[in-house]
Structure 1
Amino acid sequence: MKKFSIGYRTIKTAVGTILSVAIAAFFNLDFFSSAAILTILCIQTTRKKSLHAVYTRIIASLIGIAYGFIAFETFGYNPLVLGIMILLFIPTLVSLNVEAGFISSVVIIMHIYSVANFTSDLLLNEIALMTVGFGTALVVNMYMGDFQKELENYRIQVEELFRSIFSEITKYLRNGDTSWDGKEIISAANVLDKAKSLAFTDVENHITRKENQYYVYFDMREKQLEIIERILPKITTLPVMVQQVDLVADFMEELAENIHPGNTAIRFRNKLDIVKEEFAKMPLPKNHENFLAMASLYQFIEEMDEYLAIKQTFKGLKINEDGE
């Protein structure tokens, strides 16, 4: 059984229902309770979706009024005419890409059908109902929660997980510790999925904004995580521990201590170049196992350079810290 909870959208739906019915009743509109249906159908999870919902329902309802007037006044108010009209009405909405407004438009069409007398008063009444219903939905849906704290919490979680992953890699390189189960990899992927979804919602809540800094950040971390997943086998399958391991371990330890949302990746790429130079100065492998171990470590270094290159393309979140 799911946990009982009341979210923002539920609260807005209830408030919108109360307001739309009260306003429609105040102005003595016929079918005033239908204003609530029009409002409920337009309550969405984001401002952009709400605007689009209102747009599709206005267009669909106006087309419905036109269809209703032509069909009923020409052929009469009977079920057969209603059915044939709906048969033609739905493809029209689909062709105009406003099929989402079908239910709202049917509400208006059924008012016309039930009155069975299309007059200017009825037309004005339906337009007023649309104004109240859709307008109330827009007003109520303009309030959206602030996701900044949640997004920041996700950022902290992701960085802690990356820090933990790099620390485990360092422990393995230094001590040959194979007790790590890799659960942080799965946790990081799950957190990034949730974080990107929330960041995208935040974009949808800003009418003129096309991207969110946090969304770009989490997308960047997701690409880095793919590299981490790819390089782990190169480390965990080392046939022997060679001298170069210490160089890589020192670098990974420093990197783990300096994960943050800013953009100073160039500093660590320079450090990685130094690691490569030191790597090249060390003695050549004495046997096949040493050769395989050194080759894996060098591939690991190259992959870490790509990891940092991805971070270097990111402008950085506005948080004053020094780090990767």
Structure 2
Amino acid sequence: MKIGYRTLKTAIGTPVAISLAQWVGLSNFISAGILTILCIQPSRKSSFLSAWQRFVACASAVVFSCIIFEIIGYHAISIFILLLLFIPATVALKATPGIASSSVVMLNLYGSGHVTLSLIGEQFVLITIGLGTGLLLNLYMPSLENKLKKLQIRLESNFSHILYEYSLYIRDENEMWQGNEIAVTEDILVEAKQLVIRDRDNHLLRNEHTYYNYFKMRERQFELLKKMLPLVTHLPKTDAIAIKIAGFFERLSKAVHPGNTAITFLEELKELKREFHAEDLPETREEFETRAHLFQLLHEIEEYLIIKNKFKKSDVSHWKKRKIKIN
């Protein structure tokens, strides 16, 4: 059984908050632990937002409780009227997540049977300890760099495999591929986007996020890869130009990498398109359909490369020194 950071923070923060509230001498010290549990969030940004929403809701709960309980009395009907008025007010204040936290304060005041200034002050100390403990613990967030890097490696491996399978399909050498990598790639992109959002929310002063832009770029490329699938799997026949295109796809499959030498493949593609247009006109319906599929395929792969070329400044010279071609 794996224990996550959020669980660990909750386990540490709850007794700390209760101990602090007890040490200060608060009568409802248990409530501090409840407020801390509700304040623990998965990112720094959500933690600050959550703490603010809960503080606003709790402060509002004190005001509403004092008015309702002192006017109507400490009866069950008072709770009904209080919630009936308080919840819409909380929604209007955009502090809805704080409703559960504020109910702790309401019930503390209701249980006292009489509201005094010292009791009100005690509730605010309680709120400060409970929310403050959770907020301090949430300042530490583990780095997601390694997880994102692993997802990047898996994603590029899948891209490489998909491109290679496309080259085999064009050559009519492989009709057994089930396309599992496409489904897996979709899952990787969903997971990566969730992690990137969390990581971005953990860096409050950083507007740009490298991995956010990277996975966004790969997502756009993946949409094009999916559009290519029916073109390569339903190619009517294989001719000389199709074999050349298959070779291009195979070379491309060996060149999927975070860097950018897409310009070299765009130049190669330009030459391939010239050869395509220089071919004799198709004579049969089957040849015409084949050419149409191949022409569309060249257009899609060109868009694929352009997306990468726009994403990052070309570093062809760097990778040539390492004798690695990448896209």
TM class by shorter chain equals over 0.9
Cα deviation, residue 249, structure 1:
1.6
Q: 1:27 is matched with which residue?
A: 24
Q: List gaps (5 residues or longer) in structure 1.
A: none
Cα deviation, residue 61, structure 1:
0.7
2:14 to 14, 17, 22: 17
The yes-or-no answer on 1:101 pairing with 2:98 is yes
Aligned length: 320
Residues 261 and 314 in structure 2, CA contact (< 8 A), matched pair in contact too: no
In 1, distance between residues paired with 2:132 and 2:180? 49
1:294 to 277, 291, 296: 291
Q: 1:281 is matched with which residue?
A: 278
Q: 1:50 is matched with which residue?
A: 47
Cα deviation, residue 225, structure 1:
1.4
Is the alpha carbon distance of 1:218 and 1:317 closer, same or farther for their aligned partners in structure 2, counting shifts above 3 Å?
farther
Q: What are the superposed Cα offsets for residues 232-274 of structure 1, whole Å, 9 maximum, x if unpaired?
A: 2112212221110122122112211111112332332222111
1:173 to 153, 170, 176: 170
1:323 to 300, 312, 326: 326
In 2, distance between residues paired with 1:188 and 1:117? 61
Residues 242 and 294 in structure 1, CA contact (< 8 A), matched pair in contact too: no
Q: 2:322 is matched with which residue?
A: none
Q: Secondary structure at the match of 1:313?
A: helix
2:87 to 85, 90, 100: 90
Residues 15 and 33 in structure 2, CA contact (< 8 A), matched pair in contact too: yes
In 2, distance between residues paired with 1:211 and 1:73? 52
Give the residue type in structure 2 aligned to 1:156. Answer: I
Q: List gaps (5 residues or longer) in structure 2.
A: 320-324
Q: 2:265 is matched with which residue?
A: 268
Cα deviation, residue 151, structure 1:
0.4
Matches within 5 A, 1:182-197: 182-197=179-194
Q: 1:161 is matched with which residue?
A: 158
The yes-or-no answer on 1:136 pairing with 2:133 is yes
Aligned CA RMSD, in angstroms, stands at: 1.9
In 1, distance between residues paired with 2:313 and 2:111? 60
Tell which deviates more after alignment, 186-195 or 129-138. 186-195
In 1, distance between residues paired with 2:288 and 2:41? 60
Q: What are the superposed Cα offsets for residues 209-231 of structure 1, whole Å, 9 maximum, x if unpaired?
A: 34522122112212211111111
In 2, distance between residues paired with 1:80 and 1:143? 43
Q: What are the superposed Cα offsets for residues 35-92 of structure 1, whole Å, 9 maximum, x if unpaired?
A: 0000001111111111111111100111111111222223322222232122111111
In 2, distance between residues paired with 1:165 and 1:41? 45
1:62 to 55, 59, 64: 59
Q: 1:39 is matched with which residue?
A: 36
Q: Secondary structure at the match of 1:238?
A: coil
Give the residue type in structure 2 aligned to 1:171. Answer: L
Residues 263 and 316 in structure 1, CA contact (< 8 A), matched pair in contact too: yes
In 1, distance between residues paired with 2:160 and 2:220? 16
Q: What are the superposed Cα offsets for residues 159-215 of structure 1, whole Å, 9 maximum, x if unpaired?
A: 111111111122233353212121111111111111111111111212223452212
Q: 1:311 is matched with which residue?
A: 308
% same residue? 38
Give the residue type in structure 2 aligned to 1:266. Answer: I
